[in-house]
Structure 1
Amino acid sequence: MRTEPQKARYVKNFRKADYAAINSLLSTIDWLLFFNVNETVNEMYEKLIHLLEEIIEKSVPLMRIDSTGKPHPGHIHRLSKKRHDAWITFLNDGKPSLKKRFEKLHAEYNQEVTKFHHNYERKIIETKNQKKFYGYIKSKLSNAYCLIDNSNHQIESDGDKAELLAETFSRIFTKDNGDTPSFSHEREKVSNFYDDPFCRFEICELIEKWKASSCRTPDNIPMIFIKYTAVPLSAALEIIFRKSYELSQVPDRWRLSTIIPLKKKAPFSNPSNYRPVSITSFFCRVFEKCLAKQMIDDSERYVIQKAAIRSNLIFRGLSTNNAAVMVNAYTTYVRPMVEVQS
């Protein structure tokens, strides 16, 4: 018999962080002094992300996650350590009595773990929370499948699976042709009609109302941390957003995305039966929402009632989450009317 490895890992427990202290720290920062006037948009953004990473490292406590994927209570951790120590003692001595002690602790450990999982599932059912229930079912059904490549070889390691899925997704990827549509950056004619789209209070409201998500973005800052620190963060984002808009520059991280494979149909051993979902920067999406709000406000101000059919088309275009459709609707219909009114 071999020594059982301690299959556990430690992750940041963002729900147990002291957000009062974190917000107090962030609120003392003078963001105008924090960001250098000569810094580029990307340098400012990276400086903010680095600061948040340092705060997370120092202020967010760790949580132990066992091989089951869920944190176990303290008494199970202590029982696991006793079981492990009993096994090591038996290996060194070999007495039958020590083996019996290990077997007793092992059975007790399994009993407590089973009891914990049963209680956990019963609580989920009793809460009658559909979101939590289906989330738990999804986690049970989302076990990693063995993939099969074109040579009928089984791919089991996470790294090899990622390479195979990346190769599969690249075959259906449409490469950018490099053509950039020409947009006029002249805003002199309409400057009197444009409100500042970046207000810290609206940015904060957007973040706080955003739907919670556990997906990691290229920024690598969890959504729960962003939502709990929305008030002081919105002041920093206001400065970055405004400079990005004025200089027509975006941070490098906004050009990146995290690709998550989602199952389409069985068999799940076939990499072609997965579709890629792109997760972009959360702060970039907040930036886009601020601009979209400005576009919709312009539409409500300048689109005349007589063009009811066209108005409906415009509003539908501006309300979409597709940035290309939104920009096309704005530049085709709204901006010309804004310029005429000026």
Structure 2
Amino acid sequence: MIIRKGRRETTTIEVMDFRKADFDKLRELVGKVPWEARLKGKTTEESWKYFKGTLLRAQKQTIPLCRKDRKYGKRPAWLNKEILHDLKIKKESYKKWKLGQLTKDEYRQATRECRGKIRKAKAQNEIKLATGIKGNKKTFYKYIKSKRKTKDRVGPLLSEEGEAVTGNLEMAEMLNDFFVSVFTEKSGGVPNVVNTSRERVSLEDRIHKEQVKNHLGKLDVSKSPGPDEMHPRILKELIEEVSEPLAMIFEKSWQTGEIPEDWKRANIVPIYKKGNKNNPGNYRPVSLTSVPGKIMEQVIKEIICKHLEGNKVIGNSQHGFVKNKSCQTNLIAFFDKITSLVDKGEAVDVIYLDFSKAFDTVSHDILIDKLGKYNLDRATIRWVHNWLDNRSQRVVVNGS
């Protein structure tokens, strides 16, 4: 529902009211489910649907919904009652000056006092945000975002024919077509490496409840849920109750290579990068995916990294996506080498290369083949292959 009033545009949405949530009742409803018996004999997809349905039904009984307005032109945090009162005095002073009831100096004095209080209120608000960043990152970055010159609203976009596209649904379709066109087509079929690689080492290599609890405990509750409506706040609140069934589902998924359809769906939010805002190519896709799916992805990543590190597959010169390494460590190593050569009086030529759409165009078949050559187990390779295969997405533009 869109409500327009003057210059303000308000979108009203329904969200869960966590302040009125009965989490104790929710824990009771979910905790009394005999998960081992309920999930026994079910496929990964069936197990996931049972877990999801049980949690969403319990959630509906214990967490009420409330309406939330998304307003453009919302009052800033520093604009308190005192400042509003001072602005009112300033406005009245202006009227009195125009009517000859105040001198110009008196009006200017009222203006200076008001501006001084506004500057002070803004400064105090920024100090409050900075000192409280550890406990409330969301508010801090929301403030930084509000100061950016470029806003996140998309469009209008220009079609290939040069026509302006302004409708949210039409822009979503255009951006979706562009994002899909960037990805490299798969050659199709399951690579032979999935069938020829080694089996899992032992039954001790299982996904355990404590491992899942560790990941649930790290969830950022301010993040949005994916298309499956599994909210991180609820999963974290019910960490004791949901870690066991999730561990069962994760283990079943790893053993069979079956990925629940919900985990392979994504809501795509286009984020403006730079350049002409009318060009779809100047937006990058940010995916909102299933939270449990992302946890399973992290578990599989840990399995792969443990194998690669144990077999010393990753060299010291690799800095990207390596724990305890970053762009900074890469630059330090680079400059150390360069400066040592310069100190010796040797000439140094540097060539910088940047691959366009590098991650979007990685061949999945080559990736799977590499995992097999590094002797990763069959179950993990099959899982990664199926995780990357037959994914679906929908682009969300300005709420549509």
1:185 to partner: Cα distance: 7.4
Code of the residue aligned with 1:240 in structure 2: it is I
Partners of 2:62 and 2:252 in 1: CA distance: 30
Deviations 1:274-319 (A, max 9, x none): 122334332222223223333444556x54xxxx6x4546997995
Partners of 1:313 and 1:268 in 2: CA distance: 40
Tell me whether 1:135 sits opposite 2:142 in the alignment: yes
Q: 1:14 aligns with which of 15, 18, 24?
A: 18
SS of equivalent residue, structure 1 residue 257: strand
Tell me whether 1:178 sits opposite 2:188 in the alignment: yes
Judged with a 3 Å threshold, the aligned counterparts in structure 2 of structure 1 residues 216 and 122 are, in CA distance, closer, same or farther, namely farther
Match of 1:285 in 2: 294
Match of 2:177 in 1: 167
Q: Is the 8 A contact 2:225 2:291 kept in 1?
A: no
1:219 to partner: Cα distance: 1.9
TM-score (norm 2): 0.58
Judged with a 3 Å threshold, the aligned counterparts in structure 2 of structure 1 residues 67 and 201 are, in CA distance, closer, same or farther, namely closer
1:187 to partner: Cα distance: 6.0
Q: Is the 8 A contact 1:65 1:71 kept in 2?
A: no
TM-score (norm 1): 0.67
Structure with greater helix share of residues: 1
1:45 to partner: Cα distance: 0.8
Deviations 1:200-229 (A, max 9, x none): 111011111134552432322122222222
Unaligned runs of 5+ in 1: 73-118, 337-342
Partners of 1:331 and 1:186 in 2: CA distance: 6
Q: 1:56 aligns with which of 46, 55, 59?
A: 59
Partners of 1:45 and 1:231 in 2: CA distance: 18
Code of the residue aligned with 1:190 in structure 2: it is V
Partners of 2:199 and 2:276 in 1: CA distance: 58
Percent of residue pairs bearing the same amino acid type: 25
Q: Greater RCO between the two (CA within 8 Å, min separation 6)? A: 2
Q: Is the 8 A contact 1:296 1:315 kept in 2?
A: no
Give 1:148-297 correspondences, 5 Å limit.
148-182=158-192, 183-184=194-195, 190-191=201-202, 195-212=204-221, 214-297=223-306
Q: 1:42 aligns with which of 40, 45, 70?
A: 45
Match of 1:32 in 2: 36
Judged with a 3 Å threshold, the aligned counterparts in structure 2 of structure 1 residues 235 and 252 are, in CA distance, closer, same or farther, namely same
When the two chains are superposed, the root-mean-square deviation of aligned CA atoms in Å is: 3.9
Judged with a 3 Å threshold, the aligned counterparts in structure 2 of structure 1 residues 237 and 269 are, in CA distance, closer, same or farther, namely same
Partners of 1:263 and 1:189 in 2: CA distance: 43
Match of 1:111 in 2: none
Partners of 2:316 and 2:282 in 1: CA distance: 35
Q: Is the 8 A contact 2:10 2:72 kept in 1?
A: no
Unaligned runs of 5+ in 2: 76-120, 324-358, 378-400
Partners of 1:123 and 1:291 in 2: CA distance: 43
